[in-house]
Amino acid sequence: PLEKEPGFEFGIATGNWGCGVFNGDKELKAIIQLMAASEARRPLIYAVFHDENLFYSFTKVYEYLKQHPATVADLYQYLKDYSNLEYRDKTLFNYILETPPSSSK
């Protein structure tokens, strides 16, 4: 087995599984993977598979969530609130960027 330094945690490598042929929502998938990695207290290595738009938009959301310390519970609340919107005129990422974590509770 690989040995690791104290305080080092192996990252979780993931990506857009199910978003190609099955036409899944890449933004939803990214947030779910971020929630899982955060709950496991592991770094997330997210492969965007040459999707530059997803790379930049996910990076922007991630930085926003770090600046406005969001918890896994906050992310879950974002998903619940977004799924309950009657008319979705924005993407999940845009919804997150326009809604401070504390106001989504």
- Is 2 within the bounds of a domain? no
* Predicted confidence (pLDDT) at residue 80 exceeds the cutoff of 70: yes
Lowest mean pLDDT of 4-8, 11-15, 36-40, 44-48, name the range: 4-8
pLDDT at site 17: 76
- Is 3 within the bounds of a domain? no
- Is 5 within the bounds of a domain? no
* Predicted confidence (pLDDT) at residue 77 exceeds the cutoff of 90: yes
Extract the tokens encoding 38: 């955060």
Q: What would the pLDDT profile of 31-66 be if each residue is shown by its tens digit?
A: 999 999 999 999 999 999 899 999 999 999 999 999
pLDDT at site 104: 58
- Is 1 within the bounds of a domain? no
- Is 83 within the bounds of a domain? yes
Residue 87: CB atoms within 10 Å: 5
* Predicted confidence (pLDDT) at residue 105 exceeds the cutoff of 90: no
Name the residue range of residue 65's domain: 12-104
Torsion of CA 11, 64, 76, 22, to 10 degrees: -70
Q: What would the pLDDT profile of 82-104 be if each residue is shown by its tens digit?
A: 999 988 899 999 999 999 987 65
Distances (CA, A) of 30 to 3, 59, 76, 91: 29, 11, 13, 13
- Is 50 within the bounds of a domain? yes
Domain count across the chain: 1
- Is 45 within the bounds of a domain? yes
- Is 7 within the bounds of a domain? no
pLDDT at site 56: 98
